[in-house]
Chain A
Amino acid sequence: MNRKLIVRMLGALLLIEAAAMLPSLIVSLVYGEGDALPILYSIVINLLAGSSMSFIPGKDQNSHLRLKEGFIITALGWILLGIFGSVPFMLSGTLPRFEEAFFETVSGLTTTGASVFTQYTFDHACRGILFWRATTHWIGGMGVLVLTLALLPKLTGRTAHLVKAESPGPSLSKLVPKTGATAKILYKIYILLSLLEFVTLLLCGLSPYDSAVHTMATAGTGGFSRYGDSIAHYNSVPVEIAITVFMFMFGVNFALYYKCLIGEKIKAFFHDEEFRWYLIFAAAFIILISFLNLDYYQGDFLKSLRYGSFQISSIMSTTGFVTYDYNQWPAASHIIIVIAMLIGSCAGSTAGGIKVIRIIVLSKLSRRNIRATGQPKKMDVIRIDGKAVDEHMLSQIAQFAFMYIALILVGGFIMSLGSNYDIGTNLSASLTCVSNVGPGLGAVGPVENYAGYGIHAKLTASFLMLFGRLELLPLFILFTRSAWHKY
């Protein structure tokens, strides 16, 4: 194994993180609430660690990154970013305990949006720190390694492995031949959409600071709000509509925006099977939940639609913004929310979950198995967008689904140890972390937070979020013996 190359790449990631803290430093200087020094120290710590790692002396034996090394860099890189990204929270005294700061940072980077912030923390947090909290969403959404490749394409050869390990979805769809150029295009689209949302929110009457924070949280499909009561704080229909639409948009495969821009126009979306199903799922869930909640809202359909559509868009895109305490909704709506959490959004977006494409494939696979019991000799090919899907890919997707569910159950069990919460809270906490949504049900519901969990549960939840964001395999590889072999 090429350890020096791995250390060097990890160092580069920390340098990028240091650069990502700069806007927060500027914000803190502008507002002058006393968090400028802690952020400055954090930048210095990141710079020192990053540069000492990326400039270690000696020559690489081989500048080619192997598949295994790509996965290891991704896994270790994200853990390291979580550790070093939590420094501002600790130094500023916002979250003095490491496990809480780490939880918050990982929750930010993985775009989960689960928080240990209590109302007290919100009241005492400075705006620079809150800005950093939102920034973690933005850089984690599209991916830190993807950003590194966009900025430093020549860092190492064979970079496809890195993007593959970090991008959500069963397969990597390159937009242009070069990985570095693909990364650049993805970030350009990302920036463009973010700017669009920023301007929209400004027009809806939000302050520039609030617009920026909520834009970054939506773009990464994260869900950290500036306020303890999330988007409900504004109680404004235009803001809710704007964020509903943008949450949905950031759950769409970014390759489709590229195709749309280079000339396929709107066709690019509707010719894509995954997008069609994403739309159908979202529409079905919204209609369903609006009717299920009709009684709760005393027959006011528009009100039911307003809160239902926002919540479904927020949960499916795995953002986790809240406009209403859905804990009070009927049980059937909770089931819909849990299903939406599992499904998530499209591959190649900034969202989490199992992904619509995998759900389609798994449904087709199940249908084929049912048919095959009656007609075992029939050759049945599974197609997506009219193209046959490789059998190897099918089995990978099935295995992924199994591991995903197993991880949620095991995670829920570990989190329940020593906690006073019920099964709904523990399982939904585990599910919402793996799916990178944020709020769960019961005691971790939309108006609650994770502060009540113990240390081990917070660390477990942090790793569940990392597992979910990196789609399981990169982190599982760390637990294999071959990952630590010298060769």
Chain B
Amino acid sequence: MRIIVIGAGKVGYTLAEHLIAEEHDVIIIDKDDEVIERCSGSLDALCIRGNGANAKILLEAGVDKANIVIASTESDESNMLACLISKRLGANYTLARIRDPEFNESQMLLQNELGIDVAINPERATALEISRLLRYPFAGSIESFAKGLVEMVEFRAQEEDCFVGIPMKDLAGKLPRLPRILYAMVERNNTVMIPGGDFRIQPGDKVFVSGDMLTITEYFRFLGRNKHKVRSVMLLGGGRISYYLSRLIVPMGIHVTLFEINPVKARVLSEQLPKVDVIVGDGTDQDLLEEQGLSQMDAFVSLSNRDEENLISGMHASRSGVPKVIAKNSRLAYQDILNDLGLDSVISPQFITSSTILRYVRARENSNGTKIERLYRLVGGKAEAIEFIARKGDSYIGIPLKKLTMKKGSLVSIIVHQGKIIVPFGNDHIEENDHVVIISVESGISDLNEVLYK
């Protein structure tokens, strides 16, 4: 597809990188000379210097033939304007990054009037992700598939977990009471593996299990992981993510203590969030944190604008005995190092935004003929989950999975049959119109027939 990306900041650049890897024709528009130079050097895209809200520049980029226009500049207004003009000039589908909470209130109106097909709010998306992590505090990350019917939860295996050291194929025999769940992936030493029958989980492995919500809850209850329910959270930094997050978790009955160094900002926050304790002070001040009861907190979320501050205060909170620590980090590059430091939940708004946008792009592509329903990037892009719909006439239909050959590095993780979740084992089979979620460590799968065949 022909995709125009306006604004090649962190989000725009990551997006363009992924879209090019997926063989789309990408055209980048940015105002900054240096950005254009960097992009044309390292990305296989057409780079145009100019304002993305300028009709002449957009026409030069071929907006009239564009399938998708993604506006991801710093400015909400520019993004909206770019989408409006692109749509008028004949672009098919427009996505805009709109972050100001004020615009959020009138989002529907704006979207309809301005011809924006999807408005992405990175801060809100990030807040949503964090709120999910707070719901399952033992989880490093959570993904949901099949319209939220199925979830995949990441957690770290511990020495005392009963499944450690037992080959996968013997689990059901040796531990009859452990709820049957799918072990979708295991990450060890930064490599992602799909566990086979002889695979043994070791302590320290990152395990990804998937199933419906009920099974997952039961599973973790059996493992004894759900003892700590989050009732109190400390937030560092009074930015937009903190605002959205508070709005999301306060109704869940969670008590929020928020640190903001700027008194004016703190006052506004306190006005907007009556139930939140807004503390005016430096969130990196250890004494101040202690005074507000850091070690008694159930969770600590550092969301300031400075990555270093977030990571260090995250590590400090972790050492003070806070069971769940989430830190914001804008740079994707250091993710592996951070895992080694013991910070399991590191989130990057850029990654969340770009993967949200990618999901929409792929859904568009789907309507253009490929068979992918939805595609999710997992573990920082090291693996993918792909949702397909089984089509009439495909060779695998009606045959038990154990009789089919499966592509190496891939796994059928979920079958949704008429709204019912099936965690597939050898005797299960796929029927027509079932939703099938495939997990794969290889990218570029575009058809279910590539993965499963007789």
Contacts and interface: CB of A to CB of B under 8 A. Distances in A.
- Do A and B share a complex? yes
> Is the interface on chain A under 10, 10 to 19, 20 to 34, or 35 or more residues?
10 to 19
Contacts of A159: 44
Nearest to A178: B44
Contacts of A58: none
A64 B46 CA distance: 18
Contact of B41 (A67, A174, A176): A67
Contact of A176 (B33, B42, B43, B46): B46
B40 A178 contact: no
B27 interface: yes
Contacts of A179: 44
Contacts of A177: 2, 25-27, 44-46
A8 interface: no
A174 B39 CA distance: 13
Contacts of A178: 25, 44-45
A155 to B, nearest CB: 12
Interface centre among B33, B40, B44 (most CB of A within 10 A): B44
Contacts of A174: 46
A176 B42 CA distance: 16
* B contact face: mostly helix, strand, loop, or mixed: mixed
Given A177-B25, A177-B26, A178-B25, A158 B44 contact: yes
B33 A390 contact: yes
Nearest to A182: B46
A67 to B, nearest CB: 6
B40 A176 contact: no
A174 B60 CA distance: 13
A137 interface: no
Nearest to B47: A174
A207 B43 CA distance: 47
A278 B405 CA distance: 64
B44 A176 contact: no
Nearest to A390: B33
Contacts of B2: 177
A336 B41 CA distance: 39
Contacts of B41: 67, 158, 160-161
A159 B20 CA distance: 13
A180 B46 CA distance: 12
Contacts of A181: 25
Interface in B274-321: none
A160 B37 CA distance: 12
Contacts of B43: 158
Contact of B25 (A157, A160, A176): A176
11 contacts: A67-B41, A158-B44, A160-B40, A160-B41, A160-B44, A174-B46, A177-B25, A177-B44, A179-B44, A181-B25, A390-B33
Interface of B: 2, 25-27, 33, 40-46
Given A160-B44, A174-B46, A390-B33, 6 more contacts: A158-B44, A160-B40, A176-B46, A177-B25, A177-B44, A178-B44
Smallest CB-CB A-B distances: 5 pairs: A177-B25, A177-B46, A177-B45, A174-B46, A179-B44
